[in-house]
Structure 1
Amino acid sequence: MTDRARLEHLLPFLGWPRHWGGGGLRGDVIAGLTVALVMIPQSLAYAKLAGLPPQVGLYAALLPAVVAALFGSCGQLSTGPVALSGLLVGASILPLAGGDPTRALALALLLALLSGLIQLALGVLRLGWLLNLLSVPVLMGFVNAAALIICLTQIPPLFGVSMAQTGPLVLDFAHLLIDGRMLHVPSAAFGLGALAALVLFKRFAPRVPSVPLVVASATALSAWLGFEANGGEVIGHIPQSLPALSLPPLQPDLAMTLMPAAFVVAMVSFMEAASSAKLISGRTRQAWDQDQELIGQGMGKIAAAFTSGMPVSASFSRSALNYASNARTGLSSVVTAGLILLTLLYLTPLLWHLPKPALAAVILQAVGGLLDLKVLRRAWRTNRDDGAGAAVTFAATLAFAPNIQNGIFTGLILTLALMVYRGMRPRVALLGLHADGSYRDLQRFGLPHPHPQLVVLRFDSALSFVTAAPFEDGMLRAARAQPDVRIVLVSAAGINDIDATGLYTLAGLMERFHAQGQSIAFCGLKKQVIDAMERDGLWARIAEQARYRSEQQAITALVKTLAAGSPA
């Protein structure tokens, strides 16, 4: 790697100018302006979803978005407030804030700092692979449940009704339906009208910037009809200024309380960013770096913590819009932030009459794309363990709501448990000669053993402390598979690793087989397994019976040994 390449790896924005030829610069500018029109109403809506003042969403779309773009690896990602992170932030801070808006904002800043530091540390230490421990079915179970929860929280404001928060969200929503509270007709008209317009635009005119158009129309109608004077809720005053520098409350006890939530925000928000980056890089054929993206997203969150923002992430919908608008580099995010800056300085008075039911409609339309129950059904059909993991995570997230971070922890623990459980059940098969010349599962294909005194066993897993017991059981069954078995040949191509427990088990089996007048042979052993055996001293004892490369080579030699009547 050249010095220039190393520098661009550390500072990805230095490579932007290479992509600006052939209309690339123009594409970035147009994409940035287009995304800004969507970012402004979404930022207001997602700040509201997190229980924070609306301007916090706009602040989070300024410097945090620019920092994430400067140090991220995928130029088309659009970072800022997103629905899923907004819900997680609200679930994490509101129970601790006690109804105090100032304390809620302070907690949001601390949550942004902690989650950003977690992502930054994982990226710097090249530990991004740890986030892959959460399986896709479990993640989709959580995302679907979270999307449903967001919908439940936004239906009351869509109709101008307040919902008490006294316990589990599902029960609170059920009580609201049972109470039959009267809806506010003007609010319902604005909310349902905005939602219908957004759905129709998406269905029949997907290229039209429906979100800014609908929000602008609703704001104009609200001002003209006197929606606020008739009891409707509007955004109201938004400070016409830049965000003030902020300092999160650096209290150890508070940090420890928020640390689990910070881990969930870091994990889930990066999963959303990674899914967008993978999709876009697959289409552009430009590589993206998981660890570098963790650094960019983490630094974006840290920037939010010190500029009165909230935890940010890469939005799937805005990133897709960025890519569709021909963005090539992170300059598009800088342009987006520039337009939001102008809005904060000069245009916030125009947002006073924006109806909150219209913002609820924006949220509902955005999270509708997250609901995908087909993924859960497909996971169940493919693998019952994965299906069970997705279903349990989905149910746990709903049950714990509004504390949905407990749902993702349930899914994570379940993922690790299922991984260990599957690891403890490796495939062990006895082999016979198939008509196609290969050695295959004799039980499945109804094949005979290759020789009355020889059994072939295939083990498809690493031989470790997790799988040593199943390997031992399989070997003992193989030794009894025929009345006169003298040799068990292990087809070891599937054994890609061996640890101390595996070596100990193997040595014990060799002694046991020898005492029974039997022996063990190997074929297809891999280099790393042989190296471990050599370090342990076991290789010197088995080398003569373990140098075979294929089943056929081993069987031919071993059958001659059996015919000669000598020990294998």
Structure 2
Amino acid sequence: MLASLTSSLNLTGPRTNDRAAGGIVPVGFLQDFRPYIETQMPRLHHWLPFLEWMHELRDPTVLRADLMAGITVALVLIPQSMAYAQLAGLPAYYGLYAALLPPVVAALWGSSRQLATGPVAITSLMTAAALAPFAAAGYDVIPIAIALSLVAGLMQLALGVLRLGFIVDLMSHPVLVGVSSAAAIIIASSQLASLLGISSERSASHFAGVWQVLQTAATGGIVWSALGMGLATMAIIAGFRRWLPRIPGVLAAVVVTTLLAWALDFQGRTVGEVPRGLPPWELPDWKPGLWLDLLGPAALIACVGFIEAISTGKSMALATRTRIDANQELIGQGLAKLAGAVNHGYPVSGSFSRSAVNLASGARTGFSSLVASVAVLVVLLLFTPLLYHLPQATLAATIIMSVSGLVRVRPVLHAWRVARSDALIAIATFGATLVAAPHIEGGILVGIGLSIAVFFAVTMRPRVVVLARHPDGSLRDAERHGLPTCATVLVLRFDGRLYFANAGHLESRVIVELAARPQVRCVVLACGGINSIDATGEEVLAGLVDRLEAKGVRIVFMGLRDRIREVFQRTGLAGRLGAERFVGDERSALDLAGRLAGCAPESCAGCPLAITKG
């Protein structure tokens, strides 16, 4: 980028001064500013990240690849965005509004080159849940959906500017699996009414409404032409996935069912009249009370939407071996929601399915997202009359097929093999999300709460292991491997951070082990796993050392990290014990422990801690 800039400004050319001859001073003098420009480029890229890839478009190969990828993504984006708007409880064409500006802004100010931003299933479901109370109270939900996008965008933008992208780590993989699997079931079941052509009334709970739809269907309320359109859509999408995976099956389904509805005088519900042209660029009216009511739902949409976007972005970055900046992605996603609000859009996020299409189609830069948005613009300006006969059952079937892959059992089974607590968290999150439907934030909060509880339970009660000599010559867990221990030297290992919540646990375990071994005269604390310590941890450990030393039990620290030893030096613990008590290697630590315990050399030959010769 810098090379092209200096070349265009003739920074590398010869410097001449034609002022005396009445000529114009050339721009070569800017060469003096090249060091400054070089130092400012990282800052410029931070505020304008698209500068990192914009110059690559001069390569015809890159430009052609992005054009083809953008067109391919648009063929999926246009029908999907309309379907997801229907899921959000909005007119289908509002999905096109949400697919116009947000992909452009997210591509320009995000850090992922292949991330395709726009309407997505889970965010649309959360939008529908947020709008439901307002719809029940008789409000017009369209301006509320726009305001929801604005508030969520402001929150994400603020988090990005404050560099708080690490919040994504609060939602563990088991929680994501549980939420996404339950959300897929909720989303699919919410489309049953449209798929069957049944008009349903709002119910107190999600599954009460589903039950009402099933009862109506059982009593002959199915519109068979609508169901036929839906099943045809599913068959077309499934067929294209199987035999023509490079062609967007959803587009083929939309075209075929729309033509059939027009030709056969379809009696089911269709999209209907779609306004031609662009919506007015304006923000919703400012009503303080209403905006306060949106803070909670907007915060959850901002967090879940970001997690969805950053997870997708990381997958794309891994596939392309590029980097992704969580804070920059927050800024990009926040600005995208703000742009959507200005353009009458509702909350958007990064779409995994469309990002995968974008990557598979050869996208090299964010320009592919700009191409996709231009395609949406063309549809809004020229082709909206063609959408009149698009059956709503087609959109419902599109949604069902889109989320069918989100129900995942294999990750839960894998988590069970790794850590059963993680599998139980995934199952509990799944159940809580279903119970709270359509308000999936209830399941999210349950999952995060359980994850935090398990984290504290593990860190507050870490394993303190008694070590003994294994036949292979290493020190291992004596209880697990059934190894004999030394009568006079006790070797203990503590792994993890030593802090206020678990320092007492370490102290208790040392006391319990010494009570069971009254002949022990020296304790070797294997400290290689202690990566940090706080004031409480140091105070408890120092107090334990002082009490044991007073009773004639010596302490040796083995493999202590330098930064922990520096803490002990500052607090005086190292000075009280002496430098010889802090030993780096295992052999030296055990030799010292034997001497401190008063072991006779001949008795150590058969000691369980002795290193086997040969």
- TM score, norm. by length of structure 2: 0.88
Q: Give 1:518 shift.
A: 1.6
1:95 counterpart residue number: 133
CA distance in 1, matches of 2:337, 2:298: 11
Q: Using a 3 Å threshold, how does the CA distance of structure 1 residues 545 and 487 change in structure 2: closer, same or farther? A: farther
2:501 counterpart residue number: 466
Q: Give 1:110 shift.
A: 2.2
1:168 counterpart residue number: 205
2:47 counterpart residue number: 10
CA distance in 2, matches of 1:160, 1:99: 26
Q: Give 1:130 shift.
A: 1.6
Three-state SS of the structure 1 residue aligned to 2:197 is coil
Q: Using a 3 Å threshold, how does the CA distance of structure 1 residues 158 and 288 change in structure 2: closer, same or farther? A: same
Matched, 1:312 2:351: no
Match of 1:375, as an amino acid?
Answer: P
Matches within 5 A, 1:237-316: 237-316=273-352
Three-state SS of the structure 2 residue aligned to 1:429 is strand
1:149 counterpart residue number: 186
Question: Deviation string for 1:542-564 (max 9, x for gaps)?
Answer: 34354201232111122123338
Q: Using a 3 Å threshold, how does the CA distance of structure 1 residues 248 and 420 change in structure 2: closer, same or farther? A: farther
CA distance in 2, matches of 1:163, 1:416: 40
Q: Give 1:58 shift.
A: 0.8
Q: Give 1:470 shift.
A: 1.6
Question: Deviation string for 1:252-292 (max 9, x for gaps)?
Answer: 44333322222221222122212221222112111121211
Preserved contact between residue 523 and residue 593 of structure 2 (Cα < 8 Å): no
Q: Give 1:381 shift.
A: 3.1
Three-state SS of the structure 2 residue aligned to 1:563 is coil
CA distance in 2, matches of 1:360, 1:424: 48
Q: Give 1:442 shift.
A: 1.3
Match of 1:499, as an amino acid?
Answer: D
CA distance in 1, matches of 2:597, 2:235: 80
CA distance in 1, matches of 2:335, 2:282: 15
2:167 counterpart residue number: 130
CA distance in 2, matches of 1:515, 1:538: 14
Choose 378-387 or 49-58, whichever is displaced more.
Answer: 378-387
Preserved contact between residue 168 and residue 399 of structure 1 (Cα < 8 Å): no
Match of 1:81, as an amino acid?
Answer: P
Match of 1:45, as an amino acid?
Answer: A
1:428 counterpart residue number: 464
Preserved contact between residue 554 and residue 597 of structure 2 (Cα < 8 Å): no
Give 2:269's match in structure 1, choosing from 225, 230, 233: 233
1:560 counterpart residue number: 595
Q: Give 1:535 shift.
A: 3.4
Question: Deviation string for 1:117-175 (max 9, x for gaps)?
Answer: 22222222222112211110011100000000001001221110133332221233224
Match of 1:68, as an amino acid?
Answer: A
CA distance in 2, matches of 1:178, 1:377: 35
Give 1:360's match in structure 2, choosing from 365, 371, 396: 396
Larger Rg: 1 or 2?
2
Match of 2:233, as an amino acid?
Answer: A
Match of 2:80, as an amino acid?
Answer: Q
Matches within 5 A, 1:334-349: 334-349=370-385
Question: Deviation string for 1:391-418 (max 9, x for gaps)?
Answer: 1111111111122221211112122112
CA distance in 1, matches of 2:286, 2:494: 53
2:255 counterpart residue number: 216
2:31 counterpart residue number: none
Gaps spanning 5+ residues in structure 2: where?
Answer: 1-37, 601-614
CA distance in 1, matches of 2:78, 2:282: 22
CA distance in 1, matches of 2:213, 2:343: 37
Matches within 5 A, 1:103-118: 104-118=141-155
Give 1:185's match in structure 2, choosing from 224, 227, 232: 224
- TM score, norm. by length of structure 1: 0.95
Q: Give 1:436 shift.
A: 2.6
Give 2:234's match in structure 1, choosing from 195, 205, 208: 195
Match of 1:511, as an amino acid?
Answer: D
Q: Give 1:222 shift.
A: 0.8
Question: Deviation string for 1:475-501 (max 9, x for gaps)?
Answer: 112323423111111100010011111
Preserved contact between residue 69 and residue 330 of structure 1 (Cα < 8 Å): yes
2:520 counterpart residue number: 485
Question: Deviation string for 1:171-194 (max 9, x for gaps)?
Answer: 332243245242001111111111
Question: Deviation string for 1:221-273 (max 9, x for gaps)?
Answer: 1111111xx3x101011111212123244444433332222222122212221
Gaps spanning 5+ residues in structure 1: where?
Answer: none
CA distance in 1, matches of 2:494, 2:85: 54
CA distance in 1, matches of 2:370, 2:65: 13
Q: Give 1:506 shift.
A: 0.9
Three-state SS of the structure 2 residue aligned to 1:12 is coil
1:524 counterpart residue number: 559
Query: Aligned pair count?
Result: 560
Preserved contact between residue 159 and residue 165 of structure 2 (Cα < 8 Å): yes
